[in-house]
Chains A and B, each alone.
Chain A
Amino acid sequence: MAEAAAVVAESLAGGRARAARTVLDQVVLPGEELLLPEQEDADGPGGAGERPLRLNAGARARVRVVCGPGLRRCGDRLLVTKCGRLRHKEPGGGSGGGVYWVDSQQKRYVPVKGDHVIGIVTAKSGDIFKVDVGGSEPASLSYLAFEGATKRNRPNVQVGDLIYGQFVVANKDMEPEMVCIDSCGRANGMGVIGQDGLLFKVTLGLIRKLLAPDCEILQELGKLYPLEIVFGMNGRIWVKAKTIQQTLILANILEACEHMTADQRKQIFSRLAES
């Protein structure tokens, strides 16, 4: 009984909170607690539980850290809620402590305000369209939320059309709402996506990788065939090339490039460029 208790004590000792800085770019699991930078000063030298007395104990400047996807505030620590790699971005303007988030691999989309997504119109009821965006609820899109749309001049949207728009309302308590104009009233690339082409689904992580600035995959794809491509943050990609065969090749490459290394990708591109 005593040795079982000793073993239990040793296993529990591994569950202490770690400093967020030391775990950057490593895989974190749900349930881990992370210490923010200013708290380490208090816990560091007095590891046994004693703190050095300070005369101006309350006057230490608090660094404002933004808690991104996969993390929750738990007291004054961060609790990890999803499995993935911990990332950090330094603040641009010099104020605040930057953003921490967890890069997880996921296929299911949860609507977020401001995200540009590709939706499929599923129903037309009165003045609004119901658009399936891959979340738990269909989003609503008003017929007036298109460029140049008025009550007399309705947009030409049918059931089954593809729409590229952004969310204006997206939280856990309300039905998501999307629009196809930006805040100035211009379409800016949004609206009904044209005829032909192929819509397919990939993981959310791949979309983020492809939309990152200086993505090599996109540049290489552009050199391969002339193409039109639309990325939705809900994991949907619409692609159109001159012939159906080229479209299918592009779709297969994009789906496969998540699991390929850079070398394998270059090999495939060079083989396709030759043929």
Chain B
Amino acid sequence: FWGAAAVSLQRSAHPLLCYVAHVTVGLAQNFLPEWTLLGDTSVLAGVYGPAEVKVSKEIFNKATLEVILRPKIGLPGVAEKSRERLIRNTCEAVVLGTLHPRTSITVVLQVISDAGSLLACCLNAACMALVDAGVPMRSLFCGVTCALDSDGTLMLDPTAKQEKEARAVLTFALDSVERKLLMSTTKGLYSDAELQQCLAAAQAASQHVFRFYRESLQRRYSKS
């Protein structure tokens, strides 16, 4: 059974699409897949949990959060592991793990297509999947990527080509309550002032993403 709602949002010439779908799959009863498209980047996310956890991995006072990121082709490598760690740290800051001690919450992300801003797209997909699965969270979060090219021009949600030619690429994860910074990862050369400028631009752009979350969740609940 597939029920999908798709919404397209124009933001700095990069449409943002999200399918909020409800799929019943035989054994995986707590599996809720979400698609997020950022331009042509799309990531499918599913959340399992709170579920049983192996005794070796259990934490006595909070939930064990696991993130699995699978690339489009090939075996997952070091880059995937590093992105998994970044996504996991962001999710751990936001998910109320103390409500479910000695359980595991697993977020599985599958890259469908990559055209730049992959980490931001993964973060958005992970957030929507966690909300849809009913995991208690203290706020929502979103990912925004900024690229600085050699002239110092700031581009939000760069394409793969823009990322390759940029002087610096910065990805931020921002929370929904006060737009605070949850996670940042940067690559390249940039000055202190440029960092502040990128952060401010990312905070402004994040309100579009949060408004989009609100609209698609309202659409989902209006069907019932």
- With an 8 A cutoff between CB atoms, is B76 at the interface? no
B134 proximity list for chain A (CB < 8 A): 82-83, 104-108
- Which of A25-33, A139-147, A265-273 is the interface stretch? A25-33
A222-275 interface with B by 8 A CB criterion:
235, 255-256, 258-259
Chain B residue with Cβ nearest A32 = B177
Q: A1-B200, A82-B134 are in contact. Are A259 and B100 (CB under 8 A)?
A: no
The verdict on B178 contacting chain A, using a C-beta distance below 8 Å, is yes
- Interface segment, B46-54, B107-115, B165-173? B46-54
In the assembled complex, which residues on chain B have CB atoms less than 8 Å from the CB atom of A48?
Answer: none
Report chain B residues within 8 Å CB of A29. Answer: 131, 140, 176, 213-214, 217
Surface stretch bound by A, among B9-17, B77-85, B184-192, B201-209: B201-209
Residues of B within 8 A of A (CB-CB), count: 49
Instruction: Check if A30 sits within 8 Å of B137, measured CB to CB.
Output: yes
Residue of A nearest to B100 (CB): A172
Residues of B within 8 A of A14 (CB): 207
Instruction: List 12 other contacts, CB 8 Å, given A82-B137, A105-B221, A110-B100.
Output: A11-B206, A14-B207, A27-B221, A29-B213, A30-B139, A31-B137, A70-B136, A83-B134, A108-B50, A108-B51, A235-B29, A255-B24
Q: In this assembly, does A173 line the interface, its C-beta being within 8 Å of a C-beta of chain B?
A: yes
Q: Is the CB of A136 within 8 A of B52?
A: yes
User: Hey, which bits of chain A sit against chain B, CB under 8 A?
Assistant: 1, 4-5, 7-8, 11-12, 14-15, 27, 29-31, 70, 72, 79, 81-85, 104-108, 110, 134-137, 172-173, 201, 205, 235, 255-256, 258-259
A227 CA to B30 CA, complexed, in Å: 28
Residue among A70, A107, A235 having the largest count of chain B Cβ atoms under 10 Å: A107
Shortest CB–CB separation between residue A36 and chain B, in angstroms? 19
CB–CB B221/A259 < 8 A: no
Nearest chain A CB to B99 CB, angstrom units: 6
A27–B218 Cα gap in the complex (Å)?
A: 6
Q: Do the beta carbons of A84 and B221 come within 8 Å of each other?
A: yes
Interface class of chain A by DSSP: loop
Q: Are B140 and A31 in contact (CB under 8 A)?
A: yes
**Would B32 and A107 count as touching, CB distance under 8 A?**
yes
A72 vs B131: C-alpha distance when bound (angstroms):
16
- Does B8 have its Cβ within 8 Å of any Cβ on chain A? no
- Within 8 Å CB of A137, what residues of B? 52, 102
Residue of B nearest to A31 (CB): B139
A4 touches B137 (CB 8 A): no
Contact across chains for A106 and B133 when beta carbons are under 8 A apart? yes
> How many Å from the CB of B215 to the closest CB on chain A?
10
- The reply on B138 being an interface residue by CB < 8 A is yes
